[in-house]
Amino acid sequence: MIIRGTDRVLVMGITGKQGTFWTERMQAYGTRIVAGTNPNKAGTLHCDVPVFATAGDAMQSAGFDVAVLFIPPLMVKEAAMDAIEAGARGLVVLTEHIPVQDVMYFVAAAKERGARILGPNTAGAVTPGECFAGFMPAFNERIFRKGSIGVLSRSGSLGTLLCLNVVQAGYGESAFVGIGGDPIIGTTTRDALVALDTFPGTEAVVMVGEIGGSMEEEAADYAKTMTKPVVAFIAGGASPKGRKMGHAGAIVMGDKGTYASKRAALEAAGVSVLDTPSDVGAALKAALGH
Amino acid sequence: MNFEEHAAKPLLAGLGIAVPRGGLAQTPDAAAAIAARLGAVVVKAQVPTGKRGKAGGIKLAATPDEARNHAEAIIGMEIAGHRVEKVLIEERMPIERELYAAVLNDPASQGPLVMFSTAGGMDIEEMAATAPDRLHLRPVDIRRGLTHADAATLVQGLALGAAEGKVADTLARLYEVYAAYDAELVEINPLIVTTDGRVVALDCKFVMDDSAIVRQSGVARAGTPEKLTGLEASAKAAGLKYIDLEGDIGVLANGAGLTMTTMDVVRHHGGRPANFLEIGGESYTQAKPALELLLSNPRIKSLVINFCGAFARTDVMTQGVIEAIEALQPRLPIFFSVHGTGDEEAIRMLKDRLGVTPLATMDDASKAAVEAAAK
């Protein structure tokens, strides 16, 4: 799911501390924020946009395409259902520690309504030169610069590091898609890879994965069919088995979801797998020839 | 969070699934007393892990004396790193056949998955390998759940005979347990049919979704908290995620992905990480207690601090790190790599207050830490 500068964005939970802080930064960068929600502050203005009680109200009065949720874990299900039923085209769910059964519920509803969900537990998405949604340092020019490399990541901090290395190597990004670190997420590694492969102006894709689950293996099946080069880094090779490494999704049970399994599947698909994120520039140069 | 069998079974029973009569004993005498009440029994070690039978933690006893002897042998035993503190004493059931039933969160279908097999009693990996044709899977739309009719369809035609209706009923109730208590996994293995036609959950594994513990606080009290080392427990009390590892290079980074990667890069350059410790997300203001915790580990010989700020501001994290260093005056070498939100201010603070310049990349910082630890 790639967010464009023309997309009208609703910020749910806009009046909170983080909601306010990041709304101001999104506005300054060029994200088209049209409204916010807070059930107790409907009818007021916040960050120069109208505040509504619900996404349904915001859709009727202002209209929006994408909802960005700054909402506490146990309230996300209700907020997400509100946005989906209002007819949102996309949702960016930043919150970590949402009960998994709640996530399954709104992911199923979104699928049925044709809405795309980024996250949960994502830092958001950036389309350099256009807009960003979430809490990524899009405005830092040493990390995000308009260019031709699509980047997707399960982790915000690690995705940021890879973007930094891409820019240091003299490239820029066509788009960054943070898919989130939870075990069940609306946009998978494969979904994001397809979106970046078909996104105009993208010459190569950097995939940032981690141990746990089988999303990288599934993405490898698609990578096989691509003509654009893919470079990958998989975090967690040095992590012990059976422990949750911060991200709920990053857990290795038995031999499933291991570093070795992911690396082997990606390499068999012709993907260049990095030993360290610092090598990304050299790998892109080797793949692109410039 | 895992629930031991004795804590999981009441969840089943509360929603109408039959379980054997039994009681929990912490001493051999208590085990004998329960057995005297029940007749022929099974003595089962209570630890939050599988494979108890293979480890010698499950024994049959015909008399109270036998139950006492088995309890004596089992209490104190170590199973997969867990010391057995208590045994569950249960009536022995006349088993006619063994089935398998489970509901779990399935990332592939992004919803609940019901699993049922007519080849119960062995573990699920073995079942998938030896009797895949007897394993039946059904993804569920969580918005409508698993109805009685769905459960009936799932077990139809599996030659369950007179037990078919009761098995279907048990499956539907198992789904209710899954939904009511925010299970990540609930498994009955074996689910037995007795010679007199009852359907009973002989064992139960229940794992609660950690993110749901806050709204399941009553039920969650019966769960077994993750086994933690001293440092891990103090980290948890401070709201930090810390995992002890065996190496000697301390790692502090923000965000789970970046922290795992810092460990990977330390290892790539020939070192061994001493820990996982991240202060990303909401905990990025916790750099000071995090570093204090890290420095209390006597094993570490050098330290890598790797920040790449997005949501987490590197200036705020660096401020905390500087405060901890000023307070504790650690003698070990510390190497920094700092990029992203707030990095200019962070780098200035490091120069002004510690006289330190971050290295250009996390590879440089990790390599330097590996070399310093080897000295």
Give the domain ranges of chain A. 8-118, 140-288
Which residues on B lie below 8 Å from A99 (Cβ)?
182, 209, 211-212, 215
Q: Is the peptide bond before B94 cis (omega within 30 degrees of 0)?
A: no
Pick the CATH number of B21-92 from 3.40.120.10, 3.40.50.720, 3.30.430.20, 3.30.1490.20: 3.30.1490.20
Taking the domains of chain B in order of start, what are their residue ranges? 1-20+94-226, 21-92, 230-374
Residue A106 identity (one-letter amino acid): F
Query: For residue B276, what are the β-bridge partners?
Result: B243
Residue pLDDT, tens place only, B211-260: 999 999 999 999 998 888 888 888 888 888 899 999 999 999 998 899 99
Q: Are B243 and A240 in contact (CB under 8 A)?
A: yes
Q: Residue B261 and residue A247: Cβ atoms within 8 Å?
A: no
The token pair at B76 is 């104190």
Q: Are A262 and A216 in contact (CB under 8 A)?
A: yes
Residue B81 Cα, gap to closest chain A Cα (Å): 13
pLDDT, position B312: 83
Residue B71 Cα, gap to closest chain A Cα (Å): 29
The ipTM value here is 0.91
Residue A287 identity (one-letter amino acid): A
Residue B122 identity (one-letter amino acid): M
| Fold equal for A8-118 and A140-288 | yes
pLDDT, position B231: 86
**Interfacial B residues in 73-92 facing A (CB < 8 Å):** none
Question: What phi, psi does A147 have (nearest 5°)?
Answer: -165, -155
**Interfacial B residues in 136-175 facing A (CB < 8 Å):** 141-143
For A182, name the nearest residue in chain B, comparing CA atoms only.
Answer: B107
Q: Indicate the residue of B261, B310, B340 with minimum beta-carbon distance to A235.
A: B261
Q: B230-374, superfamily in CATH?
A: Succinyl-CoA synthetase domains (3.40.50.261)
Q: Are A273 and A230 in contact (CB under 8 A)?
A: no
Architecture category of domain A140-288 in CATH: 3-Layer(aba) Sandwich (3.40)
Q: Indicate the residue of B143, B265, B339 with minimum beta-carbon distance to A276.
A: B265
Q: Indicate the residue of B254, B265, B281 with minimum beta-carbon distance to A96.
A: B281
Give the DSSP per-residue string, B230-243.
Answer: HHHHHHHHTT-EEE
Interface residue A16 vs chain B (CB under 8 A): no
The token pair at A219 is 């993405």
What number does CATH give the domain B1-20+94-226? 3.30.470.20
d(CA A214, CA A206): 18
Buried b (16+ CB within 10 A) or exposed e, B35-56: beebeebbbbbbbbbbebeebe
Pairing of strands B275-278, B95-106: unpaired
Handedness of CA A238, A243, A245, A247 (dihedral sign): positive
The token pair at B197 is 């036609």
Regions of chain B short of the pLDDT cut 70? 281
Interface residue B294 vs chain A (CB under 8 A): no
Residue A34 Cα, gap to closest chain B Cα (Å): 22
Confidence of residue A240 (pLDDT cuts 50, 70, 90): confident
If DSSP states are collapsed to H, E and C, what string results for B136-201? Answer: EEEECCCCCCCCHHHHHHHHCCCCCHHHHHHHHHHHHHHHHHHHHCCEEEEEEEEEEEECCCCEEE
What number does CATH give the domain A8-118? 3.40.50.720
Pairing of strands A66-69, A8-12: parallel
Q: Residue A243 and residue B339: Cβ atoms within 8 Å?
A: no
pLDDT, position A250: 65
Residue pLDDT, tens place only, A249-282: 666 655 668 899 999 999 999 999 999 999 999 9
pLDDT, position A248: 64
Taking the alpha carbons at both ends of chain A, their separation in whole angstroms is 28
Q: Indicate the residue of A157, A165, A233 with minimum beta-carbon distance to B312.
A: A157
